[in-house]
Structure 1
């Protein structure tokens, strides 16, 4: 149930974000979800893409500092309290969320949250045991 996230370290300067997105687009890589965190000097762009292995290799070839990380995609009820329900399960099982970001596939149904946990396998087990659906990479990559 793990999916591959690509993390790119980019200088915090005009045009660098465009350069990453342009390279991916020119090579047929579609971004499904993203998160960008920055400091005054650099940013970390986290991406879920339709072909993570190809994206990783292309970015490496273009001299970007890039890494791969296992994350979990979780269906969250797209309603008030939906995320709190998920976080309660994690809290009750003493699982720490390192970071997360989201996207909504279709309004009114489920949102999809991307989570990075300190104990990934424990998180998958706790969520699945409580009826929460975790998505396979193939499901996310082809959205």
Structure 2
């Protein structure tokens, strides 16, 4: 239920993201989800990859500053109100969300990646309310 997320510091210059994705591709590491928060000079790329430890190692060897962070993936209905219902449960239980990002595929489900003040607590609350959690095996490469 805990998923490893890579946070990568990226200089804000042309080609840096392309370089990173090329390194991952050359090392047969798939990106399942990502989000970029940027400023004028740099960005933070947060991503879920198929082999997080290998990705962190290869990126560090290529000069990238990488941090591995634990997050939780939650599955919600991909329809109006699907996310709201889940967030209401989280809020009602006093859990603070540090950040989140989401993606949806062609089916009727969306995946939300969450970093919260207490991952154990959010997992307990989501399971208690019968919400589906993303499993590491759903995103990691074998």
TM-score normalised by length of structure 2: 0.96
* CA drift at 1:105: 3.1
Quote the residue 1:129 is aligned against.
128
Quote the residue 1:64 is aligned against.
64
Measured on the aligned residues, the alpha-carbon RMSD in Å equals 0.9
* CA drift at 1:136: 1.4
Counterpart CA distance in 2 for 1:72 and 1:6 is 13
Secondary structure of 2:14 counterpart = coil
Counterpart CA distance in 2 for 1:140 and 1:17 is 21
Counterpart CA distance in 2 for 1:118 and 1:20 is 29
Q: Which structure 2 residues correspond to residues 16-95 of structure 1 after superposition, within 5 A? A: 16-95=16-95
| Runs of 4+ deviating beyond 3 Å | none
Counterpart CA distance in 2 for 1:129 and 1:105 is 26
Residues 4-41 of structure 1, C-alpha deviations (whole Å, 9 max, x = no match): 00110010111111111111111111110000000111
Quote the residue 2:15 is aligned against.
15
Count of residue correspondences = 141
Counterpart CA distance in 1 for 2:114 and 2:76 is 12
Secondary structure of 1:59 counterpart = helix
Secondary structure of 1:128 counterpart = helix
Unaligned 5+ runs, structure 1: none
